[in-house]
């Protein structure tokens, strides 16, 4: 390894981690690092088990081993700063709270090398944390491409570690609004179903996966539009699984307006409302992370930020409400 090492951490594998994969073990004992970054570190030779380099993330641990994790100095970022307009709701020396528009990807990935939120952050902010991975500076948590809403970004590694721990330990408050069809069968529901990658489609997730992880979602009916076979839900998530809200709602027979990946079809709406779907921005669906609460990583003060749904989303609601008033 030619890279300079920023820090080396040592962990002893307890009995509770017997038969656990190496990558999962490190993700559980050091949640400040993303799972994908941990996988990269293992494959690049930065992890030793009992003083021997192990490059297999799937290596099973027996219990009692000593795992050594070396974190290299951050590489020079090759990402380009791009003048993409974003709303910065709050900023200080440690964090920035931003609004992610619908249809924009959070960080670069194959097929999305530019035009991401990270490219915008590099342009607008004077510093970002590096321990989330070279392609994810500042990114502590994510929103799907189609989701709009509030995100907190770390401007240094210390803030990143503290915020990541809060998300891992479920100390944050994450609230969403979703326009769904059909309406839910109950005005309040807790969905406590594990989620894992779908066997039939690797780009999707499912509650029927054999390798599912704990996931919990709670929702309340906020507003009903029976004439449009739709409803607006206020949602709280307790875990942060990929596609969690979309998967959990789909498991209960609902889908979010515009979310064709998880069952949305125009034909589910009465004909007179099907054209409203065209108001959604390209690559988006009607899901908004409208509120985010967390403790400031340095001052420990509780902070809470709210945003309105995008104007296109509000227009859909107004049209549905107008029709509701007309028909009553």
Residues recognised as catalytic: 144
Look up residue 289 and give its two tokens: 């992370």
Look up residue 264 and give its two tokens: 């949305």
Euclidean distance between CA atoms 273 and 270, whole angstroms: 6
Alpha-carbon torsion angle 231, 87, 136, 9, nearest 10: -100
CA distances from 314 to 7, 179, 232, 287 (A): 48, 11, 12, 12
**CA-closest candidate to residue 257, choices 240, 276, 235, 242:** 276
Please answer whether residues 272 and 234 qualify as being in contact, where contact means their C-beta atoms are separated by less than 8 angstroms. Answer: no
**CA-closest candidate to residue 130, choices 98, 168, 161, 151:** 161
Euclidean distance between CA atoms 138 and 156, whole angstroms: 7
**CA-closest candidate to residue 305, choices 124, 97, 95:** 97
Euclidean distance between CA atoms 217 and 240, whole angstroms: 10
Look up residue 183 and give its two tokens: 């309406």
What is the helix (H) or strand (E) element at residue 157, kind and residue range? helix 157-168
CA 192 to chain centre: 18
What is the number of residues in the chain? 328
């Amino acid at each position: 390894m030619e890279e300079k090492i920023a820090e080396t951490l040592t962990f002893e594998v307890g009995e509770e981690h017997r038969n656990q994969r190496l990558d999962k073990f490190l993700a559980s004992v050091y949640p400040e690092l993303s799972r994908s970054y941990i996988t990269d570190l293992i494959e690049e030779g930065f992890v030793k088990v009992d003083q021997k380099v192990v490059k297999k993330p799937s290596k099973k641990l027996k219990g009692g081993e000593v795992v050594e994790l070396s974190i290299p100095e951050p590489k020079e970022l090759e990402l380009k700063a791009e003048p993409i307009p974003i709303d910065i709701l709050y900023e200080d020396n440690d964090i920035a709270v931003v609004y992610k528009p619908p249809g924009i990807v959070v960080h670069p990935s194959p097929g999305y090398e530019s035009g991401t939120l990270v490219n915008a952050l590099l342009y607008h902010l004077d510093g970002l944390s590096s321990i989330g991975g070279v392609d994810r500076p500042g990114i502590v948590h994510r929103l799907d491409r189609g989701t709009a809403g509030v995100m907190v970004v770390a401007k240094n590694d210390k803030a990143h570690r503290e915020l990541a721990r809060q998300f891992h330990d479920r100390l944050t408050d994450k609230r969403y609004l979703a326009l769904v069809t059909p309406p839910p069968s109950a005005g309040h529901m807790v969905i406590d179903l594990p989620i894992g990658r779908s066997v039939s489609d690797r780009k999707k997730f499912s509650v029927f996966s054999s390798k599912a992880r704990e996931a919990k979602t709670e929702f309340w009916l906020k507003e009903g539009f029976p004439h449009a076979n739709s409803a607006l839900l206020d949602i709280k998530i307790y875990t942060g699984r990929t596609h969690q809200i979309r998967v959990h709602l789909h498991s209960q027979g609902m889908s979010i307006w515009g979310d064709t990946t998880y069952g949305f079809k125009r034909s589910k709406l009465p004909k007179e409302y099907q054209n409203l779907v065209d108001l959604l921005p390209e690559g988006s669906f009607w899901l908004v992370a409208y509120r985010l609460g967390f403790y400031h990583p340095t001052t420990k003060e509780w902070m809470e930020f709210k945003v309105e749904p995008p104007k296109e989303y509000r227009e859909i609601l107004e049209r549905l409400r107008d029709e509701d008033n007309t028909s009553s």
